[in-house]
Chain A
Amino acid sequence: MSVIDKGALSYLKGRIHLRSVMETTAVTSTTLSTEAPLLQMKHISISFPGVKALTDVDFQTTAGTAHALIGANGAGKSTLMKILSGAYNHYEGEIWLDGREVHIRSPKEAKDLGIQIVYQEVDTALIPNLTVGENIMLDRTVHDMGRRHLIRWKELYQEAESILARMNIRVSGKKLISELTLAEKQMVLIARAVSKQCRILVLDEPTAPLSHSETEQLFKLVRKLKEDGVSIIFISHRLPELYEICDEITIMRDGQLVKSDRIANIDQPKVVEYMLGAKMDQQFPRIEREIGPTWFEVNNMLDSGKINGVNLHIRQGEIVGLAGLVGAGKTELCRAIFGASDTSTGEIRLGGSKLRIRSPHDAVRYGIALVPEERRREGVFVEEPVSVNLTAAVLSHFSKWGSWLSFGKEKQAAREMIERLGIKTPSEKARVRNLSGGNQQKVAIGKWLLVDADVYIFDEPTKGVDVGAKRDIFNLVAELAKRGKCVLYASSELSEIVGITDRVYVMYDGSITKELTTRSSHEEEILLYCTGGGLT
């Protein structure tokens, strides 16, 4: 406890100082190592319809090093790496390799230059019903067979095994991909990437789904590749890992490069500081409200490796934030509480009495509402009109004699809700698919306002929602709390967590690692805990 406090305190002091430093040095990149860089990306800019995604980015890496690339969601790191791998052809700027300007406008050109990228979704990149060997040699089987039509199996497996041996990966080439663990799949994917000429290897959040020991295995492989002179670009949100494996770091924010340096020259809080930058002012409602007694409790919630024994409680009228990065387990926790996971166990209490929640149907009956993250897939019925969507969870209130629908009442309620939430729709009969993202979200929320539940769980409610609709949503959330509801607000947008909640639980890797009172905390501190920092 004292260790943490001390760390946080010194970090706080540093922070004030840092702000002033940042203002003078912002958006400059210092020269990194003295060695000649392997890769240089100069003055890279790219726009998509309506958005300027990257502005004049200079990025460089050295052979035989691992380079961390970090930034908040939407900072532009994936876009930059996609340009490098040839996914876009309409960018401006130059790419230099070995001091020579190269031309990368298609994935094939990038691969021919030895630039390989391993995406986060390993399962979409490998073919599960083929063997490890076949997958490793896939590129060659597809592109380098020429006029040959028969596969030489012996040759294929010999070569695959030699690649695996060279990289110290202990997986049989004859095993099916579907039998492998996630970590093994990841390593097979990397083996495939380096099976051809590989000079630059981009790893996009490779550790997100891995356990601790699996991550260690992966790092061994990364170190081996470094020794072989490969330049590795490592994208991750987990700060401690970056410090363990990387030599250099580049931090991006809002489509610009903010800082490049040797990682040893920057400590973790400083990285967080650079990631966040100056805060944009958002309009958060200031509604005075009474916070009552503890009303909703979750004890020892477990879900097969995704949630590891979570405890939390919410008081009446309290907005509790659930902060965490993408993949920390927030969505899984929300779904588990709501009874939407078949494998979860744990005790849930409402007003002191224990609830038996085996399905969302039970949860709704007990007065729990969930506004899910994937709105189009889980939240709304796009083919149905607005009115049908709004009454979906309380249809009993709009039917007489047990089940006969009264369309008049439904129409009236729908119109009132459209008015109250300011949903922009031609009428209550319009199909939801024709509404904008923000208005669809309002429909998804409005559905639960008609229910009048006791506990409201919001999972990333402002994802893909415009600024105006965001403010409306914040107001709604605050209003619910004012009426004495328990609100759980899960988000990876920390400014929202800070702006709207009373108390915050920070989730990291399936566990709640920190509980904070919002008023006495701030965004940087929460982000530090979200990235697994600050605890050691």
Chain B
Amino acid sequence: MNTARPVKEKPAASFAFDFLYKYGTLITVFVLILVFGTVADNFLNTSNIINILRSISIVTIIAVGLTVSLAVGGFDLSVGSTASLANALVISMFVWHGQNIGIGIGLTLLFCLAVGLINAFLVINFKIDDMLMTLATMFIFQGVALTYTRGATISQNMILPSGDFATGKIPAVFEKIGQVPWIIVIMVLVVIVVHLFLTYTKHGRYMYMIGGNREAAALSGIPVSKYRLAAYLVSALFAAIGGIILGARVMTAEVNSGGPYLMDAVAATFIGYSVFGAGKPNALGTFVGAVLIGILQNGLIMLSVPYYAMDIVKGSVLALALALTYYKKRH
């Protein structure tokens, strides 16, 4: 029996919650800026602000990909591993194989799209829960990246297993990608493009519908599997871009370099759910979430909080964002 839901008078507490839910993240950002700005002298310097933006750009790009996978009701936990793989691939293309920048980046993106394809195939065809399946592939691709690099760091002039020095050079143009202003420009472009895609195109609308009610979406004639596949491809693509930029920034491929970005990306995305009261994964919100984490991290370091305690703070922020999101869902 489906009875009419009576229109309830909202109590004041509910209004307060709605307001905090919608604008809480933004208010937190401003409060943090005020607090850190008064406590730490250098916090509001232009150079520090640019520093913060640069520090969040890789997280943001990876998180935007994750946002798309969440939009269709999926969850791509393998983004960190994909970024590691991309980092290893792109650096090795230059250092080991002496490829030019176009082929180096192109091939890397292509390989990482294959990762997305594998994720989508497993999740869609075997009807496995997205989070569990990508937890498994997260380990697989992390392992693939490690095996590919033989568990070692790739860098210019490294000693190869044969005993020779690697002769390949990383192109100077590639280095530029990882530097200001380009790294920030790329981040802003990614956020804007995905925001427009999700909000203003038919395809974005379909993705949200699939995320909202997969059965109803299918029965409305939306090709659900195609869009879920597309979402995993997009997710892997942005993870790969994140990994490539990481490579450009540090000019090496460290072991499991992309791994730590997973948690930050998840946190940024879930904090983003509530921004402007969207109540669903969205690119602008994800950006705000990344800014929040970036400011926290930067400010706390300025206040001499040790780096090893940072995970406690980030984890707590994620827990809070999740609590808000799930509390909202039930009310």
Binding site for B on A (CB under 8 A): 338, 340, 359-361, 363-365, 370, 372, 375-384, 388, 392-393, 395-396, 398-399, 402-405, 433-438, 440, 447, 463-466
**Residue in contact with B222 in the complex, picked from A361, A375, A383, A435, CB distance below 8 Å:** A361
- Contact A437/B219 with A381-B209, A405-B201 known, Cβ cut-off 8 Å: no
The 8 sampled A-B contact pairs (Cβ below 8 Å) are: A360-B220, A379-B216, A384-B209, A388-B205, A392-B220, A399-B201, A399-B202, A404-B200
Give the Cβ gap from A48 to chain B, nearest Cβ, in Å.
10
Within the assembled complex, what's the spacing in Å between the Cα atoms of A434 and B221?
25
B1-17 near A? 1/0 per residue, CB < 8 Å: 11111010000000000
Within the assembled complex, what's the spacing in Å between the Cα atoms of A376 and B209?
13
What chain A residues lie within 8 Å of B208 (beta carbons)? 384
Contact B216 A380 (CB under 8 A): yes
- Contact A404/B220 with A436-B3, A464-B1 known, Cβ cut-off 8 Å: no
Q: Which 5 A-B pairs have the closest CB atoms?
A: A364-B221, A437-B2, A436-B4, A464-B2, A361-B223
Within the assembled complex, what's the spacing in Å between the Cα atoms of A361 and B220?
7
What chain A residues lie within 8 Å of B206 (beta carbons)? 395
Residue in chain B with minimal CB distance to A365? B221
Residue in chain A with minimal CB distance to B1? A464
> For the complex, is B213 an interface residue (Cβ under 8 Å from A)?
yes
Within the assembled complex, what's the spacing in Å between the Cα atoms of A466 and B1?
11
Contact A340 B5 (CB under 8 A): no
Give the Cβ gap from B282 to chain A, nearest Cβ, in Å.
13
Within the assembled complex, what's the spacing in Å between the Cα atoms of A433 and B4?
10
What chain A residues lie within 8 Å of B201 (beta carbons)? 399, 403-405
Contact B2 A447 (CB under 8 A): no
Contact A340 B205 (CB under 8 A): no
Contact B216 A378 (CB under 8 A): yes
Contact B202 A372 (CB under 8 A): no
Contact A392 B222 (CB under 8 A): yes
> For the complex, is B218 an interface residue (Cβ under 8 Å from A)?
yes
Contact B218 A381 (CB under 8 A): no
Within the assembled complex, what's the spacing in Å between the Cα atoms of A398 and B212?
20
Residue in chain A with minimal CB distance to B329? A383
Residue in chain A with minimal CB distance to B7? A434
What chain A residues lie within 8 Å of B220 (beta carbons)? 360, 364, 392-393, 447
- Contact A359/B223 with A403-B202, A404-B201 known, Cβ cut-off 8 Å: yes
> For the complex, is B24 an interface residue (Cβ under 8 Å from A)?
no
Residue in chain B with minimal CB distance to A366? B221
What chain B residues lie within 8 Å of A381 (beta carbons)? 209, 212-213, 216-217
> For the complex, is B98 an interface residue (Cβ under 8 Å from A)?
no
Which of A380, A381, A436, A466 has most chain B Cβ within 10 Å? A381
B191-235 near A? 1/0 per residue, CB < 8 Å: 000000000111101101100110111111111000000000000
Within the assembled complex, what's the spacing in Å between the Cα atoms of A388 and B205?
8
Contact A437 B4 (CB under 8 A): yes
Give the Cβ gap from A120 to chain B, nearest Cβ, in Å.
17
Contact A376 B212 (CB under 8 A): no
Within the assembled complex, what's the spacing in Å between the Cα atoms of A380 and B209?
10
**Residue in contact with A338 in the complex, picked from B202, B213, B219, B223, CB distance below 8 Å:** B219
What chain A residues lie within 8 Å of B216 (beta carbons)? 377-381, 392
> For the complex, is B279 an interface residue (Cβ under 8 Å from A)?
yes
What chain B residues lie within 8 Å of A433 (beta carbons)? 5
Contact B213 A382 (CB under 8 A): yes
**Residue in contact with A360 in the complex, picked from B200, B202, B219, CB distance below 8 Å:** B219
What chain B residues lie within 8 Å of A440 (beta carbons)? 2
Residue in chain B with minimal CB distance to A444? B216
Give the Cβ gap from A39 to chain B, nearest Cβ, in Å.
29
Within the assembled complex, what's the spacing in Å between the Cα atoms of A361 and B221?
4
Within the assembled complex, what's the spacing in Å between the Cα atoms of A380 and B223?
16
Contact A378 B215 (CB under 8 A): yes
- Contact A403/B221 with A377-B216, A437-B3 known, Cβ cut-off 8 Å: no
Give the Cβ gap from A491 to chain B, nearest Cβ, in Å.
16
Within the assembled complex, what's the spacing in Å between the Cα atoms of A440 and B4?
10
What chain B residues lie within 8 Å of A363 (beta carbons)? 221
Within the assembled complex, what's the spacing in Å between the Cα atoms of A378 and B218?
9
What chain B residues lie within 8 Å of A393 (beta carbons)? 220-221
Contact B212 A384 (CB under 8 A): yes
Contact A376 B202 (CB under 8 A): no
Contact B5 A436 (CB under 8 A): yes
What chain A residues lie within 8 Å of B218 (beta carbons)? 340, 359-361
Contact B221 A360 (CB under 8 A): yes
What chain B residues lie within 8 Å of A405 (beta carbons)? 200-202, 205
Within the assembled complex, what's the spacing in Å between the Cα atoms of A383 and B210?
12
- Contact A376/B2 with A381-B209, A396-B202, A403-B203 known, Cβ cut-off 8 Å: yes
Please give 17 more A-B residue pairs, beta carbons under 8 A apart, in addition to A372-B219, A395-B202, A403-B202.
A340-B218, A360-B218, A361-B218, A370-B219, A376-B2, A382-B213, A383-B280, A384-B212, A396-B202, A398-B202, A402-B202, A404-B202, A405-B200, A434-B5, A436-B3, A440-B2, A463-B2
Within the assembled complex, what's the spacing in Å between the Cα atoms of A381 and B214?
9
Which of B7, B202, B206 has most chain A Cβ within 10 Å? B202
Residue in chain B with minimal CB distance to A384? B212
Within the assembled complex, what's the spacing in Å between the Cα atoms of A398 and B280?
23
Within the assembled complex, what's the spacing in Å between the Cα atoms of A440 and B220?
15
Residue in chain B with minimal CB distance to A401? B201
B95-130 near A? 1/0 per residue, CB < 8 Å: 000000000000000000000000000000000000
What chain A residues lie within 8 Å of B1 (beta carbons)? 464
Within the assembled complex, what's the spacing in Å between the Cα atoms of A423 and B295?
47
Residue in chain A with minimal CB distance to B280? A383
What chain A residues lie within 8 Å of B202 (beta carbons)? 395-396, 398-399, 402-405
Q: Which of B156-176 contact A (CB under 8 A)?
A: none
Within the assembled complex, what's the spacing in Å between the Cα atoms of A433 and B203?
23
Q: Which of B180-200 contact A (CB under 8 A)?
A: 200
Give the Cβ gap from A172 to chain B, nearest Cβ, in Å.
31
Residue in chain A with minimal CB distance to B197? A403
Within the assembled complex, what's the spacing in Å between the Cα atoms of A372 and B213?
14
Within the assembled complex, what's the spacing in Å between the Cα atoms of A380 and B212?
10
Within the assembled complex, what's the spacing in Å between the Cα atoms of A18 and B217?
50
- Contact A378/B219 with A383-B212, A405-B202 known, Cβ cut-off 8 Å: yes
What chain A residues lie within 8 Å of B222 (beta carbons)? 361, 392
Within the assembled complex, what's the spacing in Å between the Cα atoms of A378 and B221?
12
What chain B residues lie within 8 Å of A338 (beta carbons)? 219
Within the assembled complex, what's the spacing in Å between the Cα atoms of A29 and B221?
53
What chain A residues lie within 8 Å of B215 (beta carbons)? 377-378
What chain B residues lie within 8 Å of A404 (beta carbons)? 200-202
What chain B residues lie within 8 Å of A437 (beta carbons)? 2-4
Within the assembled complex, what's the spacing in Å between the Cα atoms of A372 and B279?
27
What chain A residues lie within 8 Å of B7 (beta carbons)? 434
Give the Cβ gap from A305 to chain B, nearest Cβ, in Å.
21
Give the Cβ gap from B196 to chain A, nearest Cβ, in Å.
9
Within the assembled complex, what's the spacing in Å between the Cα atoms of A360 and B206?
15
Within the assembled complex, what's the spacing in Å between the Cα atoms of A377 and B218?
11
Within the assembled complex, what's the spacing in Å between the Cα atoms of A392 and B222?
8
Residue in chain A with minimal CB distance to B6? A436
What chain B residues lie within 8 Å of A396 (beta carbons)? 202
Q: Which of B1-54 contact A (CB under 8 A)?
A: 1-5, 7
Which of B202, B205, B206, B216 has most chain A Cβ within 10 Å? B216
Within the assembled complex, what's the spacing in Å between the Cα atoms of A521 and B128?
50
What chain B residues lie within 8 Å of A392 (beta carbons)? 209, 216-217, 220, 222
What chain B residues lie within 8 Å of A466 (beta carbons)? 4
What chain B residues lie within 8 Å of A359 (beta carbons)? 218, 223
Within the assembled complex, what's the spacing in Å between the Cα atoms of A384 and B208?
9
What chain B residues lie within 8 Å of A364 (beta carbons)? 220-221
Within the assembled complex, what's the spacing in Å between the Cα atoms of A363 and B201?
23
Give the Cβ gap from A412 to chain B, nearest Cβ, in Å.
17
Which of B7, B218, B219, B223 has most chain A Cβ within 10 Å? B219
